[in-house]
Amino acid sequence: MVRMRKSPTLLLALVLAAVLTVGSIAIERPTEARAAALVTVPVMGPNVLTTDQVTAWFNSRGRPFNVPGVNVRQLAEMFLYEGAVENVRGDLAFAQSIVETGYFGFVGSIVSPSNWNFAGMGACDSCNSGRQFPSPEIGVRAQIQDLRNYADAGSRATNLHFPPVPEWYAWPTLNPATANYNFDHFFRKGLAPTWNQMGNGNHATSPSYGPAVISVYQSMLTFNGLPAASAAGADPIGNLEMIRRLPDGVRIKGWTIDPSSPGPTPIDVYVNGVGFARSTANVDRPDVSAAFTFAGPKHGFDTVLPIRGGTVCVYAINIGAGSRNPALGCRTVNGPDPQASLESISRQPDGLHLHGWALDPDFFAPTFVDVYANGVGVAHLTANGSRPDVGAVYDGYGPMHGFDAVLPGVGGNVCVFAENLGPGSQNPLLGCRTVLGTNPVGSLDVATHQPEGVHVSGWALDPDSSGPATVDIYANGVGMARITASGNRPDVGNAYPAYGSARGFDVVVPVAGGTLCAYGVNVGAGSNVLLGCRNV
């Protein structure tokens, strides 16, 4: 049995531009003869063989099957399903298990059949046992996830179909968070995108490990009437590395190879389910040709299409013996209307404070933000402040898309809109808030008779001033006192944190009784406001 070792490097980088035609397109599948000799075998991609074909090949070997709880067909079905959901070639993983387990006989292996461990996982050169899995299905899943970690530099716990298997990635605690972390930080992530690179410390120590697995797989293929060259995969493979909205359209970048042909492979681009453009992956990608030695150097695509937004999908077009035009990926990109956020809005003594960001996807230049108070336009702001966080998310637009303004004397029902500059149909509403206006606010809470007069208390503030508000007390329509609301009112401070707690008043007015009223005296814009009346 081959002993395991564990280990990521990144696979891909570089770009230029591709030739394309724009308009309505139809996917085509020309029939061409598959190339006879293909030496590079990708770990990832669709299955070539079916469950029935894998089962028939195994049964033809006449070997005992010593896996408890399942038969050969059920196990093959698990390999093909688990592989398909992770875009790992499950039929090839089955061939790997043939090498690891001796045709599932486990003769002389330190891994026992009841471990449901089909890839010698944890069975290192100096170990005396392998890892135990709770079921055949989980054993297969751990093996498939492990292969994806070796092959896919972009694999993360968040883009797995199933969470990382804790019996492999979080032993012995079985903590899911630990499993996620260990999957994401696997130290050989992406180091072996092909089976030719397996062995020599990648998954196994033996330098003949990869060729041994490929040889078994080619036997499975030829038994089922397929050429050995089909080990390279029947359908195109590739990776969509970027779909990004820019002012002049949508940038699409990645690579694709059809194992049937060393030449460039076509790609189709669909927008919202409708064919939009056909391009050709004919950009130099030395990194790709180095990984897939049977292919020529021109397998990259990097182009900007005049797409305004929507769900953009890219397909690799099969040109050989395969049966599918596999999707390389889909992304939803912003349409022509502005993207923006109103992050904070508050009334303070010096005015209305607004903070947020806005950009129009059709332009590099800053867009504008309009502010309305009580249905009337009060400000036209330019979103040109530095926001590196926005620039990082909307790569290509730069950071100058923030707004941070103070509007003196503005309050009431305030609404903020981002202004559309080009194609698009809306000036999106960023939000509405009801904030303090220009008039004083407050309350006459208490008015009670005492021997020396009438005791009155309450609170008041003028939104336009940071200082204490002035309150006038009237008795039976006659002004009796002018007082300053500077007493401690923590409840008011909690409700209006920008104004503090020194907003209370508490005095005795020398009157016998009657109707007492309190008025907040306005400072600046606005007018005096009745705070309340009491009959005493």
Question: What pLDDT, on a 0 to 100 scale, did the predictor assign at position 205?
Answer: 85
Instruction: Judge if 61 and 146 occupy the same domain.
Output: yes
| Residue 30 is assigned to a structural domain of this protein | no
Q: How confident is the model at residue 213 (pLDDT cuts 50, 70, 90)?
A: very high
Q: How confident is the model at residue 414 (pLDDT cuts 50, 70, 90)?
A: very high
Write out the H or E segment, with its range, that includes residue 78: helix 72-86
Q: Contact at 8 Å (CB) between 194 and 43?
A: yes
Instruction: Judge if 132 and 254 occupy the same domain.
Output: no
DSSP for 469-534, written as a single string = EEEEEEETTEEEEEEEE-EE-HHHHHHSTTT-SEEEEEEEE----SEEEEEEEP-SSS--EEEEEE
Q: How confident is the model at residue 11 (pLDDT cuts 50, 70, 90)?
A: very low
Instruction: Judge if 429 and 529 occupy the same domain.
Output: no
Percent of all residues in the chain with a pLDDT value above 70, rounded to a whole number: 89
Q: What is the mean pLDDT of residues 475-493?
A: 95
| Residue 472 is assigned to a structural domain of this protein | yes
Q: Contact at 8 Å (CB) between 42 and 209?
A: no
More reliable by pLDDT, 203 or 496: 496
Instruction: Judge if 404 and 452 occupy the same domain.
Output: no
Most confident stretch, 33-47, 53-67, 235-249? 53-67
| Residue 15 is assigned to a structural domain of this protein | no
Q: What is the mean pLDDT of residues 321-334?
A: 81
C-alpha to C-alpha distances, 494 to 5, 318, 404, 438, 491, nearest whole angstrom: 60, 66, 24, 20, 5
Question: What pLDDT, on a 0 to 100 scale, did the predictor assign at position 37?
Answer: 35
| Residue 25 is assigned to a structural domain of this protein | no
Residue 348 maps to which CATH number? Answer: 2.60.40
Q: What is the mean pLDDT of the chain?
A: 87
pTM of the model: 0.51
Q: pLDDT (tens digit, 9 = 90+) per residue, 371-385?
A: 999 999 999 999 999
Instruction: Judge if 95 and 222 occupy the same domain.
Output: yes
| Residue 31 is assigned to a structural domain of this protein | no
DSSP letter at 350 equals T
Instruction: Judge if 48 and 109 occupy the same domain.
Output: yes
Query: Structure tokens of 502?
Result: 């020194």
Question: What pLDDT, on a 0 to 100 scale, did the predictor assign at position 263?
Answer: 83
More reliable by pLDDT, 3 or 536: 536
| Residue 51 is assigned to a structural domain of this protein | yes
Q: pLDDT (tens digit, 9 = 90+) per residue, 427-480?
A: 999 999 999 999 999 999 999 999 899 999 999 999 999 999 999 999 999 999
C-alpha to C-alpha distances, 45 to 80, 254, 304, 354, 396, nearest whole angstrom: 11, 16, 27, 50, 32
Q: How confident is the model at residue 25 (pLDDT cuts 50, 70, 90)?
A: very low
Look at 16-30, 71-85, 232-246, 379-393 and tell me which has the smallest mean pLDDT.
Answer: 16-30
Q: Mark which of 271, 299, 333 sits at the end of a domain.
A: 333
- Alpha carbons 69 and 164: distance in angstroms, whole number: 23
| Domain hosting residue 501, numbered range | 441-535
At residue 112, the 3 state secondary structure works out as: coil
Q: pLDDT (tens digit, 9 = 90+) per residue, 249-268?
A: 899 999 998 876 778 999 99
| Residue 413 is assigned to a structural domain of this protein | yes
At residue 166, the 3 state secondary structure works out as: helix
Largest CA distance in the chain: 113
Q: Does residue 29 have a pLDDT over 60?
A: no
Q: Does residue 200 have a pLDDT over 50?
A: yes
Q: What is the mean pLDDT of residues 213-218?
A: 94
**Burial bucket for residue 501 (CB in 10 Å: 0-12, 13-18, 19+):** middle
Q: Return the number of other C-beta atoms located less than 10 Å from residue 159's C-beta.
A: 10
Our count of domains for the chain comes to 4
C-alpha to C-alpha distances, 448 to 86, 107, 397, nearest whole angstrom: 77, 98, 64
Q: pLDDT (tens digit, 9 = 90+) per residue, 147-193?
A: 999 999 999 999 999 999 999 999 999 999 999 999 999 999 999 99
| Residue 479 is assigned to a structural domain of this protein | yes
Instruction: Judge if 389 and 519 occupy the same domain.
Output: no
Instruction: Judge if 301 and 277 occupy the same domain.
Output: yes
Question: What pLDDT, on a 0 to 100 scale, did the predictor assign at position 363?
Answer: 87
Query: Structure tokens of 372?
Result: 């309305």
Phi-psi region of 433 (alpha: psi -120 to 50; beta: other; left: phi over 0): beta
Q: How confident is the model at residue 322 (pLDDT cuts 50, 70, 90)?
A: low
Q: Mark which of 435, 451, 469 sits at the end of a domain.
A: 435
Instruction: Judge if 317 and 351 occupy the same domain.
Output: no
Residue 87 CA neighbour count, 13 Å, CB half: 21
Q: Contact at 8 Å (CB) between 38 and 48?
A: no
Q: Does residue 24 have a pLDDT over 60?
A: no
Instruction: Judge if 85 and 115 occupy the same domain.
Output: yes
Q: pLDDT (tens digit, 9 = 90+) per residue, 67-102?
A: 999 999 999 999 999 999 999 999 999 999 999 999
Angle at 304 between CA 245 and CA 17, to 5 degrees: 140
Q: Contact at 8 Å (CB) between 318 and 29?
A: yes
Q: Mark which of 435, 470, 486 sits at the end of a domain.
A: 435
Question: What pLDDT, on a 0 to 100 scale, did the predictor assign at position 283?
Answer: 95
Which residues, 6+ apart, have CB-to-CB distance to 225 below 8 Å? none
Look at 96-100, 151-155, 391-395, 495-499 and tell me which has the smallest mean pLDDT.
Answer: 391-395
End-to-end, the C-alpha distance of the chain in Å comes to 99
Peptide bond into 172 cis (omega under 30): yes
Q: What is the mean pLDDT of residues 28-37?
A: 28
Q: Which residue has the tokens 């598959």?
A: 34
Instruction: Judge if 384 and 473 occupy the same domain.
Output: no
Percent of all residues in the chain with a pLDDT value above 90, rounded to a whole number: 67
Of 440, 415, 417, 437, residue with least CA distance to 428: 417
Q: What is the mean pLDDT of residues 257-283?
A: 90
**Burial bucket for residue 217 (CB in 10 Å: 0-12, 13-18, 19+):** buried
Instruction: Judge if 206 and 270 occupy the same domain.
Output: no
Look at 44-48, 259-263, 402-406, 447-451 and tell me which has the smallest mean pLDDT.
Answer: 259-263
Q: Does residue 367 have a pLDDT over 80?
A: yes
Of 487, 479, 484, 489, residue with least CA distance to 517: 479
Angle at 114 between CA 108 and CA 117, to 5 degrees: 75
- Alpha carbons 242 and 59: distance in angstroms, whole number: 44
Q: Return the number of other C-beta atoms located less than 10 Å from residue 102's C-beta.
A: 16
